[in-house]
Structure 1
Amino acid sequence: MDWYEDDDLWTGFAEVMFPPRRAAEAERVVATSPLLKVAPGDRVLDLACGPATHLVPLARRGAVVTGVDLSEAMLARAREACERAEVQARLVRADMREHVEPDTYDLVINMYTSFGYFTDPGENLAVLRNACISLAPGGRLLVDVMGKEVFAGWVGRPQAVDVDGGTVFMRDTVLDDWTRVRSDWTWVRGNEVRRTSLHSTLYSAAELQALFEEAGFTGVECFGDFDLSPYDNHARRLIVRGTRA
């Protein structure tokens, strides 16, 4: 079983991955970012949607939303979040390497470094190709990751995150000549110790832009935040947008 297939990870470390501030941030960027601007009736697909962090605010703005995730535990949380918010969402359990709905969406999003999970570079490319096929002509794909250049600025410094009743210690290790990273998490709560490791591919802006173009996207642009700021030495994230011709 690959790490991302383990529902115990997504449920056991949910407080770390999806804290309340993340939902508040999603509300803010959906309300303010030109990259996430939708009109009522726009069809939006969130690949690796998790607990509907972005689906809920997008649905509130009138979008017709679909969330795809491999984790049934995350989809259950997404259903609960949509019910609490009294919004409608179509939720699908599927592998993003295989999920394709030709000519269906106006916007596809993949947020919070949910891209690059797969060791085989061809499988990550397949995710982008599937997204391109699933977009209607003129539709856009938005991928939000921790770019290699941003990551290099702070990697190597262990982090400690306080959670309810305990602390999660995080340490990152760069692998394979700066092409991949392993993140080791240790949760200490009283006498309980829980450990997990996450793996993902590291992309520079140039590498991810080239991958978008190989997948069939045109007009590919890179940004350093959701306010359209440039991807430079002040960037917080790497956000790449491409358009299906």
Structure 2
Amino acid sequence: MKGTPWWQAYFDDLYLELGQRLAAPDWKDSQQQAQAVVRMMQLVPPAQILDLCCGFGRHAIPLAKMGFTVTGLDYSGDVLAQAREDAARFEIDVAFCRGDMRDLPWVEVFDGCVMLGGSFGVLEEEMENERVFHAISAALRPGGRFFLDAANRDRIVCEYVPQRRQEADGVVRCVESRFDPVAGVNYACERWLRDGEWTERTHHRRLYTATELDRMLRRADLTPVAYYGGCDQSEFTTKSHRILVVAEKGE
């Protein structure tokens, strides 16, 4: 019998505390990223946007501030609580809700959907990851656009870093990783040191090539119309840090 998927427990209040102590949210940077994303998607306010796997709202809140009608969905109740708190602090109206990205309750509601921060690929089964694209397609209106931000497997494999260390504000984060080239899965063990106490967590993520993503998107009636290597709209290459895709749902 399978245990609880790692992502259902990973993004909790401890994740928020330690993550924000290592790298506090830069709202100015998030605002610039949000502006770049909607520019690439060619969306204008008050279009309805779904921020899938929205986390604590670092892009949903800036999007709403720009005049878009924003819904943010995440599985973690802890990060959603932080998102609602931040939205209230900024006096911004965002509809945050808890749910599973594979089973979206909306049908042809949104003009656009964004999935940022590399959330795609966390599910256990290959078909479950692809199922997310089909759910997004169903939630978009005909002609609606989807923006995906994913890790670039080609670059990661060529410049693989099996060990990393971060330190800030009294917190140390050590990560040991192993990549399975057949399954295309990156396995990681994280150890966090805080107040003299170590906490250990593991997680894994399926990494995709642009070729694989292109095929999966098309099977979900999401036709890629542009690929970029960064928010500056630079050309996507095998050396790009990220894969940024703009896809359009069929009419």
TM-score by length of 2: 0.90
Residue equivalent to 1:28: 32
Query: What is the correspondence of 1:146-225 to structure 2 with a 5 Å cutoff?
Result: 146-175=151-180, 177=182, 179-225=184-230
Deviations 1:140-173 (A, max 9, x none): 1111111101212432341111132121011221
Give the Cα separation in 2 of the matches to 1:239 and 1:15.
Answer: 29
Aligned with 1:63 (options 62, 65, 68)? 68
1:236 aligns with 2:236: no
CA contact 2:152–2:240 (8 Å) conserved in 1? no
CA contact 2:185–2:205 (8 Å) conserved in 1? yes
Instruction: Kindly report the root-mean-square deviation, in angstroms, between the aligned alpha carbons of the 2 structures.
Output: 1.8
Unpaired stretches in structure 1, ≥5 consecutive residues: none
**Structure 1 residues 187 and 51 mapped into 2: Cα distance closer, same or farther (>3 Å)?**
same
Give the Cα separation in 1 of the matches to 2:88 and 2:42.
Answer: 23
**Structure 1 residues 120 and 22 mapped into 2: Cα distance closer, same or farther (>3 Å)?**
farther
SS of the equivalent of 1:206 reads helix
Q: Which moved more, 1:11-20 or 1:60-69?
A: 11-20
Aligned with 1:97 (options 86, 93, 102)? 102
Aligned with 1:4 (options 4, 7, 14)? 7
Give the Cα separation in 2 of the matches to 1:68 and 1:97.
Answer: 11
**Count of residues in correspondence between the two structures:** 244
CA contact 1:178–1:202 (8 Å) conserved in 2? no
Give the Cα separation in 1 of the matches to 2:154 and 2:62.
Answer: 30
TM-score by length of 1: 0.92
**Structure 1 residues 185 and 22 mapped into 2: Cα distance closer, same or farther (>3 Å)?**
farther
Q: Percent identity?
A: 25
